[in-house]
Amino acid sequence: MSSFPYIHISCPCNEDRPQTLTIDSARPISPSKSPSKHDFSFPPAAPQTPTKRRTLLAPFTPSVSFDATNLDLDDDEELTDEDEENNFDPRDPRSAFSLFPIENLLYCEDCHQIRCPRCVQDEIVCWYCPSCLFEVPSSTVKSDGNRCTRNCYLCPVCTALLAVIPVNHSTLNPGSTSDHPTGPFNLFCSHCHWTTSDLSPPIQLEKPTSISAQLSKLTHSPQDNEFTRLKQHYAQQLGNAQEDFTNSPAALTRLMGLYTGLGSSSGSHGGGRKGRGVKKLEMKEVDRPREVIEEREMEIVERMAKAGLNATTNAKQRLSQPHEPRFISDLTPTAVLLRTKRSKRCRACRHILVKPESKVQTTRFRIRLVALNYIPSLTIKRLDSTIAWNNLTPHKTHRFLLTVTNPLFDPISVSLLTPRRTPGTAFASRVTILCPEFEVGANTDVWDDALMSTKPAAVTPSGVATPPVAGSFASFSKDPKMSTVYEQKRNYTSVVIEVVPPEIPDTRDTRIRDERLLEIPIYVRVEFEAEVDRDDEEGGGGRPSHSGASGGAVQREKVEYSYWCVVGVGRVGDPVEGVVASEPNTPVRTPVGTPVKAPRTPAAMRTPLRQVRS
Amino acid sequence: MAPKRSGASSASSAPLPPLSIDPTALLSDAISFSGTYLITIGANTVLHPRCKLNSTEGPIIIGSNCIVSERTQLIAPDIDGLVLGNYVHVEVNCHIQSARIGDATSIEVGTRLGKGSCIGDNCTLSPLSTILDVDVLPAFTVVYGENQRRVDTSSTAIARNETMLAHIDCLKKLLLNKSEKYTR
């Protein structure tokens, strides 16, 4: 989060548990709000969903404090109440879990929703070694562990890959740079020049192949060591108590009570056992703190005194090896950890969102539904290059360029809505989007645009041609505020956003939360007309098949979806002399209907992605 | 120093420092020589294009069978000069102001050697490692990771010299020899 600017998109799992998310459950039904016309076009949601949502949401609803000046500016005050409830607070601890850059998000085509890493389920497609790129069957992984069982080993000192070299390459017979190097062989790190000869005792291999088999003969595998250790320990314990476990009916009960009755209570219960004429049983667990044998410890200290601190391992090296070596000469080569290829499933509808090619060598994907291809992405630039992202001047109007890029093949109408004052903080910045409603062209072929550039029809958004359906977009194309769009190209449109940060005390030392961090929540609502696939609709869960269009060959349908995103603009710096607070600091431009508050339709509020029937 | 070096970058125009180049050495095109002290280049040594040798403060002596790669700067620190031993491999983009670099030392990509530092024989400096000014690196030292050091006991020095010779043989086939351009 250190580099500004960043744009994070809120996954709908912020509002609900991913398990209960379906296209219908994502739609809020709240009795406090009057249902809009959109609500009637839907069948009733699953009965358990609304109550669940309410209980979930009620304690976590972020609140925004609007001060008096803000209220005065409001056109109608009844809406402010709603705004407070519905504004997305980027500082809310609950929302922090669901904010991701768009690159990290997937999109479920069946749920019509964004899916973040929290609401997908990973399934392992295959295991493979990243070094030799050999696939390891999962049965082998279960039996032999999650490390490469072939020839891949890492240097224990610097973690680079080890190579096999002959020990006596040129020291004994320098002339023979032969084709058949003869053993013994060493494992050699070409980065830090560590070899297995550095070990005490040195490990030398007879063959340059099947290293794992040779190493396991020379060094006991840590798992085997651990098993023999445990076996020895418990055999010893059992030997002490051997006479207790004779073939008597009491033996079994005593065996059962061995672990439950032990620990701190064993002392107090000991008397009772003695009363039955059985010896008190002392069973030491292996996990007890390790016993320090004084002689061995003195040996180690002496060795340290001789070899110096440089011969000892650091904590990372010690912990990465099962036998926790104290000296570098005790480190053994570690086999390469296997990696996995994973497919990802939507947790709600179980459809696969990502499926990589199962062959290890290929990096392609069979299925990859990334959100970047489905939802318009936002980017922010500064209009004035003198703006320092890390040091915004209080009370100064900063202008940024917000660009919406359309990945879809249909032109979209976009509404950007933001609270007039950034929520969730006592030091709210004033935010204004100069042109909050605009159109973004379709993501057509680049060549189409170039070839048809002579025709003006190709450039103008095609939304003009379609009959106005939704009321809010009726007079859209004729609206004069279209002219305030900063830049409009093939599939992106840029608008200006103005930010006036207040003076904020630096709280980084005293509080965990950085009050100076300026994050702007923006509600993005997208409407477009898409061609409807009939089969898809039947499978989509029995929605009403009402269609506004006549029964033509191509059926078009109004689709609307929306999401919250958070724009991390920067950090507010120290106040600058000469730039003072004055309420009409921002150039006064309040175009008619500039939404400086959250959307009016309550149904659209908490609906991250959904379809609306015209 | 700055104006002289800027003049030397347009290689042909600036006056070259006195050069003593072994006839078997391979000097590529566009090597930047600057300074006034003698620069000696030993037998069978390869200098890649666009490496920079600056003898403003003192002489530079490069031994035999060395490789100096592109964009590497060899700068003599003082009047005693910079001495490279034999079989020294200097990789790309290094900045070297050492007083002495021992035989069969390998200096990898992007290494910075401080002014007047002294590198022993058979050392290996892994990529992007740094040696401070006037630091002394004993023989058979490996600098790896975050400037950690360890002693090389692998006894691969002779094998590495062999690969070095093979490397030079290969480079002699690939690179054009323009040493006559500098000996004129």
- Least Cα distance to B120 among B95, B91, B94, B149 occurs for B149
Alpha carbon distances (Å) from B50 to B33, B73, B93: 10, 9, 10
Please report, for residues A238, A267, A387, the alpha-carbon distance to residue A277 in angstroms, rounded to integers and kept in the order given: 19, 16, 86
pLDDT digits (tens, 9 = 90+) for A169-207: 654 444 444 556 677 888 899 888 888 888 877 888 888
Interatomic CA distance for residues A327 and A322, integer angstroms: 14
Nearest to B153 among A169, A177, A197 (CB): A197
Nearest partner of A549 among A461, A467, A450, judged by Cα: A467
Q: Which of A43-57, A75-89, A219-233 has the lowest mean pLDDT?
A: A43-57
Sequence spans of domains, chain B: 2-183
ipTM: 0.82
Give the largest Cα separation in chain A, rounded: 105
B39 close to B63: Cβ distance less than 8 angstroms: no
- Spatial contact of B80 and B97, defined as CB atoms under 8 Å apart: no
The DSSP result for A342-392, as a single string, is EEEEETTT--EEEEE-SSSS---EEEE-BGGGTS-EEEEEESSTT--TT-B
DSSP H or E run through A341: strand A339-346
For a pLDDT cut of 70, what percent of chain B falls above it?
Answer: 92
- A325 CB-near residues (< 8 Å, 6+ apart): A313, A317, A318, A331, A332
Contact indicator for B53, B32 with CB cutoff of 8 Å: yes
Lowest mean pLDDT across A137-146, A249-258, A601-610, B5-14 = A601-610
Query: CB distance B158–A174 less than 8 Å?
Result: yes
Q: Which residues of B touch A198 (CB under 8 A)?
A: 153-154
Q: Give dist(CA B155, CA B174) in Å, integer.
A: 30
Of A594, A569, A565, the C-alpha closest to A501 is: A569
Count the helices and strands in chain A (H runs, E runs). 16, 23
The mean pLDDT value for A327-336 works out to: 86
Over residues A445-456, the mean pLDDT reads: 63
Within 8 A of A171 by CB-CB distance, chain B residues are: 155, 158
Long-range pairs for B70-79: beta carbons < 8 A, 24 or more residues apart: B72/B48, B72/B96, B76/B35, B76/B37, B77/B115, B77/B116, B78/B116
Nearest to A195 among B126, B154, B162 (CB): B154
> Residue A463 corresponds to which amino acid?
G
Arithmetic mean of pLDDT, B134-150: 90
- The residue of chain B nearest to residue A309, with distances taken between CA atoms, is B150
Nearest-CA neighbor of A41 among A469, A347, A525? A469
Prior bond of A201 cis (ω within 30°) = yes
Residue B12 pLDDT level (bands cut at 50, 70, 90):
low
- Residue A197 to residue B162, Cβ atoms within 8 A: no
Six-digit token string for A348 = 């709600």
DSSP string across B106-163: EE-TT-EE-TT-EE-TT-EE-TT-EE-TT-EE-TTEEEETTTEEEE--S--HHHHHHH
Residues of B in contact with A186 (CB under 8 A): 154
Q: Determine whether domain B2-183 maps to CATH 2.160.10.10.
A: yes
- B147 close contact with A: CB closer than 8 A: no
pTM for this structure? 0.65
Q: What is the DSSP letter of A161?
A: B
Calpha distance A203→A194 (Å, rounded): 12
- Per residue in B76-127, pLDDT (tens digit) is 999 999 999 999 999 999 999 999 999 999 999 999 999 999 999 999 999 9
Give dist(CA A65, CA A557) in Å, integer: 39
Per CB-CB distance under 8 Å, the chain B contacts of A174 are 158, 162
The rounded distance, in Å, linking the Cα atoms of A240 and A247 is 16
Of the candidates B156, B158, B162, the beta carbon closest to that of A193 is on B156
* Cβ neighbours of B156 in A, within 8 Å: 165, 169, 188, 193
In whole angstroms, what is the distance from residue B120 CA to residue B135 CA?
A: 11
